[in-house]
Chain A
Amino acid sequence: MSLLAPPPQVRFEAVSYRYPQQAEPTLQGVDWRVEEGEFVVVAGPSGSGKSTLLRCLNGLVPHFSGGRFGGTALVAGRDTRRNGPRSLSRLVGFVFQDPEAQLVTSRVEDELAFGMEQLGVAPLTMRKRVEEVLDLLGIAALRGRDVATLSGGERQRVAVAAALSLQPSILALDEPTSQLDPWGAEDVLSALTRLNEDLGLTVVLAEHRLERVVAHADRLRFLPAGNGAAVEGRPRETLAAMDVALTPPLIRLARRIGWQPLPLTIKEGRACVRLDPRHPASPPTDRLSPVGRPVVVVQDVTVGYGSRAVLEHLNLDAGPGELVALMGRNGSGKTTVLRSVMGLHRPKTGVITACGRDLSRVDTAELARDVGYVPQQPGTLLFAETLREELAFTLKHHGGRGKDLETVLALLGLADAAERHPRDLSGGERERAALAAVLVGAPRVLLLDEPTRGMDAARKAALGTILHDLCAEGATVLMATHDVELVAAVATRVVLLGDGRVVADGSPREVLSGSLTFATQINKLYGGQWLTVEDVVTGLERGND
């Protein structure tokens, strides 16, 4: 028996990489090791190089993307410069961010077999492996389903299963939960944890939602923006060293009030609360919704596709200065409410008015002077040659009335991107570009559909500030989202939808407190009406007074 340690699954030595037509390298002098059976999480702000690092693992960088690659990257002993993604596909399973775009066949079972068919795996072996991965990921019930009918979480689990069917040594996942609702994300992450703990599969995961994974990770690698030195170590060590704005609320609180060691789970956090002699005073009261005549009124509205009703006799209103968060599971009607208020759906029954105008008598393009809408796919909004021209178009359509173009760009951190083509922007920049293109028109009503998808914590905080300021100026914001932390931080009202009806309508503290599915991390920790880190910190300060 050899006492020698097995070689690392991943060994990067001085790896550098620059994309074609980019002046600055995305990776520079990266040294990295991943041992067999480790669960490594890669975190960092948007644009820090997480995806690029993962793409080096299976050779997509540089074989698919081109560019200049330096240094040595050995994956399972193979040099990725000599082995492209096709030959590495047996060793590295790769799961992409978008559950829509990565499935290549129409049926779940075919999807699982696709890679094996390409690699010429014997039919008997294929059959056995398909059965195994179906059970491993808990998707046996989906085997005959058409992939078009699956939810986002189900699709991502199918993608993971398809990658696993090739029996790779390493599973690399590039923000696989960023497009999913909390339940779908939980399903995927639970499956990954099980695969790592039960089967010893090496998992490398790029992820923004650290709160769900840090407890299971062996190591956390934090990539700062702008090619700074990476921080890597046990999750507690890295979380203590990384930018606090990018950490989960539990860690932010622990670092603010000095809990040691840092709790990684709610259970550990509760133990800290019990042992901490300090107790916060009573939680702050609700932010009061400004009173005023409603700007948006949805009255007894039914909307449907064919014979299927999506909204049923829905009543909802929102006044000036209100930030109304629309929450609920996928399919509950959140997006349809926004689209109806934008005039993109004609109700079968009922009346919708916005800014005093009956939407049945106004066309959408005319309504756009007062109502701004940022859909889930913000790229669809952008069509001009440069970002500056995008904003200029909005101003022209508003007859020159609106906000200062340069101020809006600066507010959204896009001042340097003004002359770039919107399609050349990164995913996160494009989201902000779409928001800028709408905000510059100073809409009286702003409709946002899942604005934080794929956004890191710092960007979310910045968005929260922008929305807060917008409401302070008297605008009305309706935001469909699953992001309870953002809602707790900025919403003045929460409307919970279920099957096209309003299930609950109240202040964030009324609706989110004690909820089984919509509670914030802090609420799970302290219960009562505590929602945010600021609530507790302020409460502790008042308690000390």
Chain B
Amino acid sequence: MSGHGRTDLDARAWLLWGVAASLPPLLGRNPFVLTATLLAVLGVRAAMAPSDAEGALAWNGIVRLAAVFASVGTLFNVLTAHLGDRPFASVPDSLPIIGGPLTLNALVYGLLSGSALLTLVLVGTTLGAALDWPALARLLPARLSTVAVAGAVAWAFIPQTVVALREIREAQAARGYRARGGRDLVPLLVPLLAGGLERAVTLAEALESRGFSSSSDQQDWTSAGPPWRAVLAALGLAGTLLGAYLLAAETPIAALTTIGFSAVALAVAGADKRNPRRRTRYRHTHWRQRDSVVAGTAIIVVAAVVITLAADPRAIRYDPYPSLIPPRVNLGLLAALTLLLSPVLVAPVRPSGSPSAKTSRSVQRVPLP
């Protein structure tokens, strides 16, 4: 599984960092803000993510894929969005869809959207390499433990799938197979999906054999207790999805409100004290000063982004249509974004394969009698 946890930072601190680093590319296209965020994330990634392990190579593959999508997206935007006041070339109108003026406005918007996508993927892959997923799963309420482990396992499949895809491509090249078009992808996808399914079945067997989700009640969290809990849980999940959509639709206040209500609904649905699951925890994590620093700086970044969005939206949002005007610079916000580098400054990195420092330092062991 993934989740190597190569740093001695608490999973909650990493999660807050991830939220803070994701907000700017989610909320706007201001090039200064995007560049500052991208540089900060690259700095953290360079310092935290291992460069030689197979898992890291898999994450790098995902970043490369995102870079390809970003480039293709930019090209697509230039060829299909014929808007703006700065044409630099023209394609004959007789050609469907791509016919018309090609504008710098479309190129700029495509590049900014591509860099926003790349930043989000880099945030995800940095978390994938640095975050201790089992520790995160342990932090969730006991009733959500089944979902948490399933989520951690699913997350671990991402780099494994990328590695498997590389192996399949190589093996099939060794059989003389060349993928030339969309239909030729089938021979790549069939073994990829079948292999993934086989891995999933083996893992499921291993989980069953080791008593996964075998606490006394033997019930799933959504089915435990009175029906209203299940309804509340369903509403909470639906609200979370709606919140994510509202965020993407650039209505942050409505989005944050919806996500907040959804979190409360999920917490209430999961807090059934009459029939608690008997799952126990081996580790009890200890929140330290460095975790406070990273979490605190992440909260400052989130606050700076939200306040700026309310007070000076153009400092975060930027639209090159219909006129290519210079974007606004907000030095205060840019200064706040440099705080995203805090993990590099406060969290030492363990070399890949070394014993976890958490064992001796950040984990408060249960004392023997």
A binding-site residues for B, Cβ under 8 Å: 58, 60, 63-64, 84-87, 89-90, 92, 94, 96, 98, 101-107, 109-110, 113-124, 126-128, 130, 143-149, 162-163, 166, 305-308, 339, 342, 344, 363-366, 368-369, 371-373, 375, 377, 379-384, 393-394, 397-398, 423, 437-438
CB-nearest residue of chain A to B133: A106
Partner of A163, one of B198, B210, B359: B210
**Inter-chain contacts of B133 with A (CB < 8 A):** 106
Q: Which of B48-56, B61-69, B102-110, B317-325 contacts A (4 or more CB under 8 A)?
A: B48-56
| Smallest CB gap from A118: residue in B | B211
Contact in complex: B280, A121 (CB < 8 Å): yes
Among the stretches B16-24, B168-176, B340-348, the one at the interface with A is B168-176
10 examples of A-B residue contacts, CB within 8 angstroms: A58-B209, A84-B208, A106-B5, A110-B283, A123-B282, A144-B355, A147-B1, A375-B167, A383-B177, A384-B187
- The docked-state distance in angstroms from the alpha carbon of A308 to that of B190 is 33
Kindly state whether residue B369 has any CB partner on chain A within 8 Å: yes
Residues of B156-194 at the interface with A, using a CB-CB cut-off of 8 Å, are 164, 167-168, 170-178, 186-188, 190-191, 194
Is there a chain A Cβ closer than 8 Å to B199's Cβ? Answer: yes
Q: Are A101 and B5 in contact (CB under 8 A)?
A: no
Chain B: which residue is nearest A376 at the CB level?
B167
Q: Given the complex, which residues of A lie within 8 Å of B356, measured CB to CB?
A: 107, 109, 144-146
| Chain B residues touching A, majority SS | loop
Within 8 Å by CB of A365, from B173, B204, B216, B355, lies: B173
Within residues 17 to 60 of chain B, which ones have a CB less than 8 A from any CB in chain A? 51-55
The interface size of chain B toward A, counting residues with CB under 8 Å, comes to: 72
Tell me if A148 and B55 are in contact (CB < 8 A): yes
Given contacts A86-B214, A96-B205, A104-B203, whether A368 and B173 have CB atoms under 8 Å apart is yes
Cross-chain contact B4 with A60 (CB below 8 angstroms): no
Are B178 and A115 in contact, with the CB atoms below 8 A? no
Across-interface contacts of B149 in A (CB, < 8 A): 104
Docked pose: A90 CA to B149 CA in angstroms:
20
Report the minimal beta-carbon distance from B80 to chain A, rounded to whole angstroms: 34
B208 & A383 in contact (Cβ 8 Å cutoff): no
Distance of A337 from chain B, by nearest CB (Å): 14
Q: How far is the CB of A51 from chain B (nearest CB, A)?
A: 11
Most chain B CB neighbours (cut-off 10 Å) among A110, A114, A116: A110
Chain B contacts to A: CB under 8 angstroms? 1-5, 51-55, 132-134, 149, 153, 164, 167-168, 170-178, 186-188, 190-191, 194-195, 198-199, 202-216, 218, 277-283, 352-360, 365-366, 368-369
B1 near A89 with CB under 8 A, answer no
Within 8 Å CB of A89, what residues of B? 208-211, 214
Q: In the assembly, what is the distance between CA of A89 and CA of B218, in Å?
A: 14
Which listed residue (A110, A307, A372) contacts B282, Cβ 8 A?
Answer: A110
In the complex, A311→B356 CA distance in Å? 30
Cα A105 to Cα B282 with chains together (Å): 13
* Given A107-B5, A127-B365, A113 contacting B211 (CB threshold 8 A): no
Residues of A within 8 A of B198 (CB): 379
CB-defined contacts of B194 to chain A, threshold 8 Å: 379, 423
Q: Do A118 and B212 have beta carbons less than 8 Å apart?
A: yes
**Shortest beta-carbon distance, A142 to chain B, in Å?**
8
Residue of B nearest to A364 (CB): B173
Query: B368 contacts which chain A residues (CB < 8 A)?
Result: 124, 127-128
**Docked complex Cα distance between A212 and B302 (Å):** 61
With CB as the reference atom, state the residue of chain B lying closest to A423: B194
Question: CB distance A85 to B1 under 8 Å?
Answer: no
Distance A520 CA – B175 CA, assembled complex (angstroms): 34
Among B54, B186, B281, B355, residue most surrounded by chain A Cβ atoms (within 10 Å): B355
Q: Are B211 and A381 in contact (CB under 8 A)?
A: no
Question: B352 contacts A149, CB within 8 Å?
Answer: yes
Task: Name the A residues within 8 Å of B174 (CB-CB).
Answer: 342, 344, 364, 368, 371-373, 375, 381
Known interface pairs A163-B210, A381-B175; A106-B1 also in contact (CB < 8 Å):
yes
B51 touching A306, Cβ below 8 Å: yes
Q: Which of A106, A109, A118, A149 contacts B132 (CB 8 A)?
A: A106
Q: Which residues of B contact A162 (CB under 8 A)?
A: 210
Are A144 and B167 also in contact (CB < 8 A) when A94-B209, A342-B174, A381-B172 are? no
Q: In angstroms, how far is the closest chain A Cβ from the Cβ of B336?
A: 33
Which of B54, B195, B206, B209 sits near A148, CB closer than 8 Å? B54
- Given A121-B280, A163-B210: A380 in contact with B1 (beta carbons within 8 A): no
Closest residue of chain B to A373, judged by CB?
B174
| A146-B353, A148-B4 known; A377 vs B210 contact (CB < 8 Å) | no
Residues from chain A with Cβ under 8 Å of B204 in the complex:
64
Q: Which residues of B contact A398 (CB under 8 A)?
A: 176
Kindly state the separation between the CA atoms of A373 and B176 in the bound complex, as whole angstroms.
10
Q: Which chain A residues lie closer than 8 Å to B354 at the CB level?
A: 145
- Which residue from B2, B5, B177, B359 sits with its C-beta under 8 Å from A143? B359
Once the chains bind, are A106 and B175 in contact (CB under 8 Å)?
no
Please tell me if the beta carbons of B352 and A118 are within 8 angstroms of each other in the complex.
Answer: no
**In-complex Cβ contact of A118 among B171, B173, B279, B366 (8 A):** B279
Give Cα A225 to B48, complex, Å: 53
Interface contact B210-A394, CB-CB below 8 Å:
no
Alpha-carbon separation in the docked complex, A434 to B257 (Å): 56
Query: How far, in Å, is A44 (CB) from chain B's closest CB?
Result: 21
Partner of A105, one of B54, B134, B164, B278: B134
B210 and A166 contact, CB distance less than 8 A = yes
CA distance A308 to B215 in the complex (A): 46
Could you tell me if B280 and A116 are in contact, using CB atoms closer than 8 angstroms?
A: yes
Q: Which residue of A lies closest to B197 (CB)?
A: A423
Shortest CB distance A66–B (Å): 12
Q: For A166, what are the chain B residues with a Cβ–Cβ distance below 8 Å?
A: 210-211
Interface-central residue, A106, A119, A308, A394, by most chain B CB under 10 Å: A106
Q: CB distance B191 to A380 under 8 Å?
A: yes
* A120 x B279 contact (CB < 8 A): yes
Which residues of chain B are within 8 angstroms of A107 by Cβ–Cβ distance?
Answer: 5, 134, 356
Contact A117–B187 (Cβ < 8 Å) = no
Could you say which residues of chain A place their CB within 8 Å of the CB of B209? Answer: 58, 60, 85, 89, 92, 94, 163
Q: A121-B280, A306-B52, A344-B170 are in contact. Are A64 and B208 (CB under 8 A)?
A: yes
A147 CB contacts on chain B under 8 angstroms: 1
Give chain A residues whose Cβ lies under 8 Å from the Cβ of B360: 144
In angstroms, Cα B209 to Cα A58, docked, is: 7
Complex Cα distance, B175 from A117, in Å, reads 46
Residues of B within 8 A of A146 (CB): 4-5, 352-353, 356
**CA separation between A130 and B282, bound complex, in Å?**
10
Shortest B279–chain A CB gap in Å is 6
Cα-based distance from A80 to B165 in the complex (angstroms): 39
Residues of A within 8 A of B282 (CB): 109-110, 113, 116-117, 123, 126-127, 130
Chain B residues, Cβ within 8 Å of A372:
174
